[in-house]
Chains A and B, each alone.
Chain A
C-alpha cells in the first residue's frame, strides 16, 4: 500500500484545460474521494493517477516515486470501472486471474489466489460462469476481485456504483467500505454523489471546473466549506445563502444584515463595504417567535422526523430543517435563530469563505 502525492497536476486537451494545477496528498490506506459535478476534472485526475492519461505537467508520486510519465502497466495499481469492463470473452475465473497471468505468476499460485479472493467476495459459486449473464452486484464483485487479486499499491474506482440500481448501491457501498477496512488499501474513488462521498470517504477533494475547491475530511467540508461552490454542492438541501452588503474587522463576532446583528464565529479577516454572503445550513436554523431576524413561511415539506420549511427573508429564501412537531403555518411571519458557531461568511465576488475561528484549520484548495 502506498501514499499518493499529487503536485500541481495539470491536464490540457487541446485548448481545453481539464485539470488546472491540483495538489493534494492521499494518505496510506485512506479511502479518498474525488467529488464534483460532471466535467469538473475528477475522472481525468483519476485517470492520470492510473496512467491512462499522461499529465501535461505536474507530478504524481506513488510511494515517493514519480510515476507521472510512466504507462499504466508499470504503476502497480488496480482499477474498477463504472461499467466494470469485465472481459466479455472470459469467464469469471479467467477475469479475476487475468492480472496475475500478465505478471507470470505460476498457475498453482493463481488458482489459490483466485480462490481466496472469491471467498472474500462470496462469489465462489459463479467462478465458472460467463460474465455476460451476471447480475449488476456480481459483476461489481468480479470487478473488485480482479482489482484486489494482485495486491496492488492502490485502487482506483471510477463511479463503481454508478451502474447499479439505487437500492443495491447502498448495500454495495457498505460492502466496499467494509472490504477497504479489512484490506487497508489506499483507494481513490471518483463520484459525483455527495452522499456517497460523505458516507464512505476518509477524505474528500471537491473539484469544480478543473480546480480543487477544497480538500479535507467529510465533516470539515460539510461544516466549513471553503467556497460557496462547496457549500452549495454538499448537503441536501444545500446551504442557505443570505446576500447582504457590509463589512467587518478582524476580531468581530457578528455581521449585520438589514439592521439585525447575527452572531458568527470570530472573524479573522477584514472586509469593508462589500457584497457578502452569510452561509447557514438548514439544520442550523431554528424558528422562534422572539428571533430578531424575520422571515415569512412560504412552504413546509414533511419528511417524517423532520420537515423542511421554506421562508422568504429580506436577503433571500431560507430553508430550515426543523423537527416535524413544530407547526409552521404558511403565510406566518416568524423569527429565525442561527447557530452562531456554524455560520460561514463568503465573499460574494470570489465565492471564498472568510477565515474565522471556526474554519481556521480547514484546507482551502
Chain B
C-alpha cells in the first residue's frame, strides 16, 4: 500500500521537478556561459564555426577591452624592446602595441555613478512619497497614485524625442545629472508603488508608540519605520538598479561623450577587421558583476520582499 502525504512530495514528482528546474537553469544560464567563455577566447576562436566548446583560454579579450592598440611597421616592430608586462605580451602576439587605455573604465564608472545615483534618488524620494501616501490624508490620493503609475503605461522610449529636445535646451544632454534624473523619473513610479505596499504593511501603532514615547514624526519615521521597511527598500532598490544599469536606448540617444554608460559603449568595441567579440564579451562579463554582487548581498531581503504580505502574519 502506498502512503500518501500532503506535505511531502512523492519520489517521482521530486524527480520531475528536479529535471524541470535543471532544464530551466541550463536554458537560462546558457547565454551567460556563452558570454563568459567568449570573453576568454582568442579572436579566431570566438568566431570559429562550429563554436569551440573546448579552447585555449586567453586574456586577449580583457586586455583589448581596457586598451587601445595600434599597428606599427614591420621593421619597427622588430626593433621594439621586449614586452614589459604580460598584457604587453598579449598585444604583441596580435602584432600590435598598446597605444593607451581604452574608455571602458570611464564608461563603467559612469554606469556606476548613474546607476547607483538614480537608484539612491529613486529610493530616497520614493520612500518619502510612499510614506506620505501610506500615512497621511493626501488630497486626491488615488488620482495621484494612478497618475504616478500611468507614467509606466507606455514604453519610456516613446517620449525619447521630446526628452532629447528638452535635454538639449536645458543643457542636460550627455551629463551625469541628466541621466540620473531621467532614470529616477522612470523608476520613481515603481519605487512609490512598491514601497507604499511595504509601508502599508507596517502597523501604524509602531509610529504612534514612538510619537507617544516622545519622538517627532520624522524621528519615528527614521528610527521605527525605516528599519522595518528595510526589506522593501532593498528589493525596490534592486529593481531600480537593474533598470538603470541595463538601460540602453536612452543611453544611446542622450549620451555620447562624458556621461556615456557602459551599455552603449560595449557593442562599439571594434577590433582589427570588425567587431572584437572577445573584448565585447569581456566587457559584458565585467558589466554583469556589480548588479550580481548587489543582488547577492541583498538576496535575503529580496526573497522576503517578493513574498512580503503574501501570508498574513
A interface residues (Cβ-Cβ under 8 A, vs B) = 50-52, 71-73, 75, 77-79, 81-83, 85, 87-89, 98-99, 102-103, 146, 150, 156
Q: Which of chain B's residues 11-32 have a Cβ closer than 8 Å to chain A?
A: none
Q: Is the CB of B213 within 8 A of A99?
A: yes
Residues of chain A lying within 8 A (CB to CB) of residue B219: 102
Residues of chain B lying within 8 A (CB to CB) of residue A83: 203, 205
Query: Cα distance A272–B203 when bound, in Å?
Result: 55
Residues of chain B lying within 8 A (CB to CB) of residue A146: 209, 213
Contact with A along B222-261 (1 / 0, CB 8 A): 0010011000000000000000000000000000000000
Asked whether B214 is an interface residue with its Cβ less than 8 Å from the other chain, the reply is yes
Task: Return the contact of B212 from the options A50, A87, A88 (Cβ within 8 A).
Answer: A50
B138 to chain A, nearest CB (A): 14
B216 to chain A, nearest CB (A): 6
Can you list 13 residue pairs at the A/B interface with Cβ under 8 Å? A71-B216, A72-B208, A73-B212, A73-B213, A75-B212, A77-B212, A79-B209, A82-B205, A83-B205, A85-B209, A87-B206, A98-B213, A102-B219
A75 — nearest CB in chain B belongs to which residue?
B212
Q: Is the CB of B211 within 8 A of A73?
A: yes
B199 to chain A, nearest CB (A): 14
Given A73-B212, A98-B213; 4 other pairs, CB 8 A cutoff? A52-B208, A72-B211, A81-B208, A85-B205
Q: Is the CB of B228 within 8 A of A88?
A: yes
Residues of chain A lying within 8 A (CB to CB) of residue B224: 87
Residues of chain B lying within 8 A (CB to CB) of residue A99: 213-214
With contacts A87-B224, A88-B228, A89-B227 taken as known, whether A78 is within 8 angstroms of B206 at the C-beta atoms is: no
Number of residue pairs spanning A and B whose beta carbons lie under 8 angstroms apart: 57
With contacts A88-B228, A89-B228 taken as known, whether A72 is within 8 angstroms of B212 at the C-beta atoms is: yes
Asked whether B215 is an interface residue with its Cβ less than 8 Å from the other chain, the reply is yes
B255 to chain A, nearest CB (A): 41
6 pairs of A and B residues whose beta carbons are closest in the complex: A85-B205, A102-B214, A99-B213, A85-B209, A72-B211, A89-B227
Interface SS, B side: helix
Q: Is the CB of A87 within 8 A of B216?
A: no
A103 — nearest CB in chain B belongs to which residue?
B214
B220 — nearest CB in chain A belongs to which residue?
A73
Residues of chain B lying within 8 A (CB to CB) of residue A81: 205, 208-209
Q: Is the CB of A85 within 8 A of B206?
A: yes
Task: Return the contact of B211 from the options A51, A82, A87, A156 (Cβ within 8 A).
Answer: A51
Q: Which of chain B's residues 186-200 have a Cβ closer than 8 Å to chain A?
A: none
A290 to chain B, nearest CB (A): 59
Residues of chain B lying within 8 A (CB to CB) of residue A156: 212
A101 to chain B, nearest CB (A): 9
Query: Cα distance A232–B196 when bound, in Å?
Result: 44
A88 — nearest CB in chain B belongs to which residue?
B228
Query: Cα distance A192–B157 when bound, in Å?
Result: 58
Residues of chain A lying within 8 A (CB to CB) of residue B209: 79, 81, 85, 87, 146
Q: Is the CB of B212 within 8 A of A79?
A: yes
Query: Cα distance A73–B203 when bound, in Å?
Result: 19
Task: Return the contact of B208 from the options A85, A88, A98 (Cβ within 8 A).
Answer: A85
Query: Cα distance A98–B213 when bound, in Å?
Result: 7
Query: Cα distance A77–B203 when bound, in Å?
Result: 21
Query: Cα distance A71–B208 when bound, in Å?
Result: 11
Query: Cα distance A52–B211 when bound, in Å?
Result: 8
Residues of chain B lying within 8 A (CB to CB) of residue A77: 212
Q: Is the CB of B214 within 8 A of A85?
A: no
Most chain A beta carbons < 10 A, residue from B209, B210, B219: B209
B234 to chain A, nearest CB (A): 14
